[in-house]
Amino acid sequence: MNSHAIITDLNPRQAEAVLHTKGPLLVLAGAGSGKTRVITRRIAYLIGHCGVPPWNILAVTFTNKAAGEMKRRVADLLGHTDMSPALSSPAASFDRLRTSGWGIDGVWVGTFHSTCVRILRKHGAALGIKGSFVIYDDGDQLSLMRDCLRAQNLSERSLNPRAILSRISRAKNELLSAEEYAVQANDRMEERTAKLYLMYQERLDGLQALDFDDLLMATVRLFERHPEVLAAYQDLWRYILVDEYQDTNHAQYRLIHLLASRYGNLCVVGDDDQSIYRWRGADLNNILDFERDHPGCTVIRMEQNYRSTQQILQGAGGVVAHNYGRKGKILWTENEVGEPIVLYRALDETDEALFAARTIQSRVADDGSGYDDYAIFYRTNAQSRVLEEALRQALIPYVIVGGLRFYERKEIKDLLAYLRWVVNPADSVSFKRLVNAPARGIGPATIAKLELLAMQGKTTIWEACGRAVREKLLNTKQQAAMEGLLRLIGEVRTQSAVVPIPDLITELITRSGYAEELAQERTPEAENRLENLKEMVTAAQEFAERNADGGLAAFLDSVALISDLDEYADGRGAVTLMTLHTAKGLEFDTVLIVGLEEGIFPHALAMPDERELEEERRLCYVGMTRARRRLYLASARQRRLYGNRSFNLPSRFLDEIPPDVLQVRDPWESRSAGPPPSIVSRVRRDDDEPFVDRLYPGARIRHPDFGVGVIRERTGSGDDLKVVVRFNGAGDKKLMVKYAQLEQA
């Protein structure tokens, strides 16, 4: 392939990144700078010009949607349209790949988790992991953790199972086993977590299940303990590309470091200004320290933006420039100057929502744009309710991304439980979900008896159920129901090797009695649930078309690894509502960001910690740079949220936007000529204002006993005024202002 053809429409920095093929490379790709184009052109250049066999290339990203887009673009460049994965193992497929022709067929493009699944399916036995393992999602993990709490006689009131799972997840991201975590535990909460972590992991192992964090941790352990397996993959993947590198956690960092350590041809693409996932383990230092970790690496800054107008870029750049922990970039564009950024200072959350609805309605009427050209971003999901009401009243169609996803619906999770028990007879969590879906009269006491049988006999829940039937340990009704269930699962398990997955699903829906039970309800809700089950058949058909050799276990893997953005489909004729975190990677002609107030955005919990505050600022930058042509910002003078009415100052981020690109509007003004020198000072009262009027959520105060803290809530008035303050050492305290002796910090 002619190299000129690959880079002919690239700018100099993009072309430089494509043509660099040897040694470590850090591409700092600013928002809208064309990073996907660079990654795909680089793959095409390696294969088509440098003669690199496609199976020697690994490209890793964070969503299936991004991976699919990469595959499609490379296929277009190389002229190959077969999207079926030609590589199922690092050894057995070489001949097949070499005879299939060079192209996208052999390139391994996937997410971190899907890559690890494929490795563990092949080599997990070296760690005692069976090839038939199932992947537990958030709901499965929560169910299992609740079992662990009950087993240790702990209540959910004293220990939040989600909080425990979050701590365990952070430990796994740091590659700490339950035993290693226990050694490091230095307070009562960590000691309790360590005991639960140990039991949780033991039960996962017994169920032949892995959670998402296990996929990464186990693969790293595999490579560390079995150098011959690592060497095989190092020799296989001689060229490694990682997208969104700023979002990697320690386990992902370690995985990539191990794979790339032999040949050193590692290209990472990312933007330190878009690192917004610290709360789930992402380590910004992975990208900030890349040059230290890879001496002699090449650094390329891609600063030309192809998405946004000049005024939007100036505004976003002004905000993120206030961060210290960054590499530093100045985005520029040849796009039009564009309209000023509009800031609307709403009276309250209702006025803010009505402004959003009116703006969208008038724009659609005036310029002929579609509703799907608009998106509304907010910091927390709780802010969406009043926005939804305003859009409904205005008859504006909308869709919420990150709400209840298809695969999280009850009937779908029930059906998946059937399929998972077919694949893995030891999966007692799935058994407990399906055994009474539909109702079979097998209650909690009987289920506990079956689990005890499995534990005492050191067998699977499947074998325990079989024993209960053979020894007639159940009552007559339960006996008949269990016999029918075991017969169904056993027959489907036998058929799964030869019968197409859509047919297996249809058989389970029909023979289980699930479809009949829904049909008898004769309600619109039941009809919708039945249609969802039928849609699962369609999903299985589409999977079979994409994966000719994929079996039931592979189908379940693909479902387990789906993310919010994978299910998001743009262009549906509706306004998109989503959190700022979910918006990353998307773009819209017009973006509205609401709730720009101290304590809301930036979030109150982030304000005492400079690192957290910088992440909030990056989140603001991400939201602003999703806009192509128009950007609207809104803050409310007062807001009712979580049942409380608060009076908040405008977000500090508004004061960081260059004044010459910002246009301020008020409810009583059609528009103002421009902002005063400080947006925040516009609503601050003089220094002689009563001190109590400064006690807004997000304000920093000092208490004589507890020290410095940040106000989270304000309730009451006059002598009954109370505030909830989060102190660094003392936690949350509810204080009566009249007696608390508070001072401005």
What pLDDT digit, counting tens, does each position of 53-72 carry? Answer: 999 999 999 888 888 888 88
Six-digit token string for 55 = 């199976």
Q: Which of 294-308, 360-374, 676-690 has the lowest mean pLDDT?
A: 676-690
Same domain (yes/no): 412, 539: yes
Q: Burial, 272: exposed, middle or buried (Cβ in 10 Å; 0-12, 13-18, 19+)?
A: buried
CA distance 642 to 628: 33
Same domain (yes/no): 429, 520: yes
Confidence of residue 744 (pLDDT cuts 50, 70, 90): confident
* List 244, 283, 566, 656, catalytic entry: 244
Same domain (yes/no): 220, 268: yes
Q: Taking residues 512-540, what's their average pLDDT?
A: 80
* List 13, 35, 307, 345, catalytic entry: 35
The total of other beta-carbon atoms located within 10 Å of residue 716's CB is 12
The total of other beta-carbon atoms located within 10 Å of residue 87's CB is 18
Same domain (yes/no): 676, 576: yes
Residues in the chain: 745
pLDDT of residue 212: 94
Q: Which of 43-47, 93-97, 353-357 has the lowest mean pLDDT?
A: 93-97
pLDDT of residue 67: 85
Confidence of residue 98 (pLDDT cuts 50, 70, 90): very low
Confidence of residue 102 (pLDDT cuts 50, 70, 90): very low
Same domain (yes/no): 187, 272: no
Q: Taking residues 575-594, what's their average pLDDT?
A: 94
pLDDT at 295 over 50: yes
CATH number at residue 200: 1.10.10.160
| 575 contacts 376 by C-beta, under 8 angstroms | yes
pLDDT at 651 over 90: yes
Confidence of residue 678 (pLDDT cuts 50, 70, 90): low
CATH number at residue 527: 1.10.486.10
CATH number at residue 601: 3.40.50.300
Q: Taking residues 637-653, what's their average pLDDT?
A: 81
Pairing relationship of beta strands 134-136 and 209-211 according to DSSP bridges: parallel
Q: Taking residues 80-104, what's their average pLDDT?
A: 38
pLDDT at 684 over 80: no
Of the segments 238-247, 360-369, 638-647, which one has the largest average pLDDT value? 238-247
Annotated active-site residue 35? The verdict is yes
Beta-strand ranges (E) seen in 386-534 are 398-400
In the chain, the percentage of residues whose pLDDT exceeds 70 is: 89
What pLDDT digit, counting tens, does each position of 225-250 carry? Answer: 999 999 999 999 999 999 999 999 99
Annotated active-site residue 626? The verdict is yes
CATH number at residue 726: 2.40.10
CA distance 246 to 272: 6
| 702 contacts 651 by C-beta, under 8 angstroms | no
Cα–Cα separations (whole angstroms), residue 730 to 542, 582, 606: 54, 33, 16
Confidence of residue 80 (pLDDT cuts 50, 70, 90): low
Same domain (yes/no): 393, 445: no
Confidence of residue 654 (pLDDT cuts 50, 70, 90): very high
pLDDT of residue 545: 81
pLDDT of residue 733: 84
Rounded to the nearest 10 degrees, how much is the dihedral formed by the CA atoms of 175, 178, 179, 183?
80
pLDDT at 464 over 90: yes
Annotated active-site residue 274? The verdict is yes
Of the segments 47-51, 538-542, 717-721, which one has the largest average pLDDT value? 47-51
Structural domains in the chain (count): 5
pLDDT of residue 661: 95
Q: Phi and psi (nearest 5°) for 488?
A: -65, -50
Q: Taking residues 725-730, what's their average pLDDT?
A: 75
pLDDT at 671 over 50: no
Q: Phi and psi (nearest 5°) for 743?
A: -130, 155
Average predicted confidence (pLDDT) for the chain: 86
Same domain (yes/no): 421, 526: yes
CA distance 725 to 710: 5
What pLDDT digit, counting tens, does each position of 342-351 carry? Answer: 999 999 999 9
| 93 contacts 143 by C-beta, under 8 angstroms | no
Same domain (yes/no): 433, 533: yes
What pLDDT digit, counting tens, does each position of 370-386 carry? Answer: 999 999 999 988 788 88
Six-digit token string for 597 = 């107030």
Same domain (yes/no): 111, 92: yes
**Mapping DSSP to helix (H, G, I), strand (E, B) and coil, where does residue 293 land?**
helix
Annotated active-site residue 244? The verdict is yes
Q: Which of 163-167, 301-305, 543-547 has the lowest mean pLDDT?
A: 543-547
pLDDT at 337 over 90: yes
Same domain (yes/no): 676, 698: no
pLDDT of residue 688: 41
pLDDT at 522 over 80: no
Q: Read off the DSSP letter of residue 84.
A: S
Q: Note if the bond before 438 is cis, omega within 30 degrees.
A: yes
Same domain (yes/no): 551, 440: yes
476: enclosing H helix or E strand: helix 476-495
* List 234, 274, 478, 582, catalytic entry: 274
pLDDT of residue 377: 97
Beta-strand ranges (E) seen in 287-432 are 298-302, 341-346, 374-378, 398-400
Q: Taking residues 428-451, what's their average pLDDT?
A: 90
Own/partner pairs for 80-85, CB < 8 Å, 24+ apart?
A: 80/104, 80/105, 83/546, 84/546, 84/547, 84/548, 84/549, 85/547
Instruction: Single out the residue in 634, 664, 683 at which a domain terminates.
Output: 683
| 427 contacts 421 by C-beta, under 8 angstroms | yes
Q: Find the domain containing 185 and state its range.
A: 134-207
* List 243, 272, 598, 614, catalytic entry: 243
Instruction: Single out the residue in 145, 176, 207 at which a domain terminates.
Output: 207
| 592 contacts 356 by C-beta, under 8 angstroms | yes
Q: Taking residues 201-209, what's their average pLDDT?
A: 94
Of the segments 422-426, 522-526, 693-697, 698-702, which one has the largest average pLDDT value? 422-426
pLDDT at 691 over 50: yes
pLDDT at 640 over 50: yes
The total of other beta-carbon atoms located within 10 Å of residue 158's CB is 8
Instruction: Single out the residue in 561, 582, 608 at which a domain terminates.
Output: 561
pLDDT of residue 199: 97
Same domain (yes/no): 660, 586: yes
Residue from 690, 664, 555, 589 nearest 374 by CA: 589
